[in-house]
Structure 1
């Protein structure tokens, strides 16, 4: 269902795009490439100088490499466009501190402890926060079974996605319909 029609005319002033792509590698690891851009629809005057309409204020990349348990084994960040050249674009190496973190075990908390404030880049750190759910989507049906029933890949384990959102609560209708064996008994 789409959003409602705007009640007034409007003009685009800013666009932020976040893109995450997951790649399985020949060595069994996974690369998760995340990209964020911020673009103004008008000529912007920054402290560092003018930025023409359509030119990115931020064009940032973050790649993590994870194993099948979602532990980060490699991490890197790069900046193609920043508002303060020579300053913003020096933070990339700090994102190596993500190595060793697990995307499913307090990742967002640990991310903030390591890279919040002056320890990191606000935008790269925000971008990193989408990595757990994006990676879960990549692994679902490929690395992890999302099926249930007699022929399921993991017939004795509750599917990982149950009780992770309102639609897949074990006392709800979707679980009753698609995962009946895991319905919470009252």
Structure 2
């Protein structure tokens, strides 16, 4: 269901588009990629780029995390196609410092420590938190399906069933409230 109709006439000024994708690689790792683009609906002058026409990106940035199933970043690559200042692309190589960081508890803190402030780029840092979610959405279901299939094979063979690594994010939202019907259904399914 979309939002309600706006209360008054309005004019579009700014658009930020963020596209994120998760890929399974043939080497067993995963690529998590994001592309961020900011545009304006009007022309404006920029200190370093001169006149920027409507629709030309003010920001156009890419970032890729290579992540293992253990959720540890193996490498990070960033690139800047469009930026407001000539110095901005110089921050991109610094994101390689994220190699070795674990995507999980403390991830945002680790990002801030390694590429925070003048070491990095605000826009790329902001998108990294969302990329962590994409990593979980990409890797988790494949890993859990493999575990479920292994458990079914073990059960059918009369062998001990290995425990699942899946952890429910209890308390993280309405659906995962401790007493929600969603949590109760998940718990029942995990006990089967």
Correspondence list, 1:121-160, <5 A: 121-145=121-145, 151=152, 156-157=163-164, 159-160=166-167
Residue of structure 1 equivalent to 2:23: 23
CA separation of 1:152 and 1:180: change in aligned 2, threshold 3 A: farther
Deviation at 1:178, TM superposition (A): 4.2
Maintained 8 Å contact 2:33/2:131:
no
- Matches of 2:162 and 2:174, distance apart in 1: 23
1:80-135 Cα distance to aligned partner (Å, 9 max, x none)? 111112x0011111001100001113111110122221111111111112111111
Aligned to 2:75: 74
Quote the offset at 1:161 in angstroms.
3.3
SS of the residue 1:141 aligns to = helix
Aligned residues: 181
| Unmatched runs of 5 consecutive residues or more in structure 2 | 155-160
- The 8 Å contact of residues 44 and 51 in structure 1, kept in 2 or not, is answered as yes
Q: TM-score, normalised by structure 2?
A: 0.84
SS in 1 for 2:35: strand
Decide whether aligned partners of structure 1 residues 7 and 125 sit closer, same or farther in structure 2, where only a CA change above 3 A counts: same
Q: Which structure's residues are more often helix, by fraction? A: 2
Q: Which has the larger radius of gyration?
A: 2
- Give the one of 161, 165, 175 matched to 1:167: 175
TM-score of the aligned structures, taking structure 1 as reference length: 0.87
The aligned counterpart of 1:40 is 40
